[in-house]
Amino acid sequence: MKIRNATEKDYRGIYERENTAEYRRLKGRPHRNFIAFKKWIAARKARGSIILIAEDNGKQVGSVMLIRWLGNQSHNMGIGISVDKAYAGKGIGKALMKAALKRAKSEKGVRRISYACYGFNKPSLALVKSLGFKRCGKSTHEYLINEKYVDYYYFEKLI
């Protein structure tokens, strides 16, 4: 497996992974078209956000985005990760997160990484805890998914 910086050619793969019916149902977001998605990424990259890609034998199997915050929160980066379902549980998420944390440490002025996830996402909860993130908050009944209320957890790591 190889982890590298994303290029514009990678955006289609990220788009397809993040716009599956399951992903949209969980996020509660409507399907956004590819042009709007590219503009969204370009806006984040323009303010210093970073996207890394995981490849297995030349195939994109995951990505992680470090989103640079602005103003008096510019010392923060939020982190978001996605791994192809077929590759889940194979260490790709952990490798992406480690690469992202290493990259964040080299970014001027960044001192804090934040992460948030659903309470039912046990693999994600275990991953961030194993990487030294500390839970800093919880929103009870933040989402209503399939007629069930779901808690949302917030984590941080000082770097």
**How many angstroms separate the CA atoms of 95 and 23, rounded?**
21
Region of residue 71 (phi > 0: left; psi between -120 and 50: alpha; otherwise: beta): left
Q: Where are the domains of the chain?
A: 2-115
The 10s digit of each residue's pLDDT in 8-50 is: 999 999 998 888 767 666 666 666 789 998 999 999 999 999 9
The 10s digit of each residue's pLDDT in 52-96 is: 999 999 999 999 999 999 999 999 999 999 999 899 999 999 999
pTM over 0.95: no
Half-sphere exposure for 19 (CA within 13 Å, toward CB)? 13
Work out the burial of residue 36: count CB atoms within 10 Å of its CB; fewer than 13 is exposed, 13-18 middle, 19 or more buried: exposed
Protein fold of 2-115: Aminopeptidase (3.40.630)
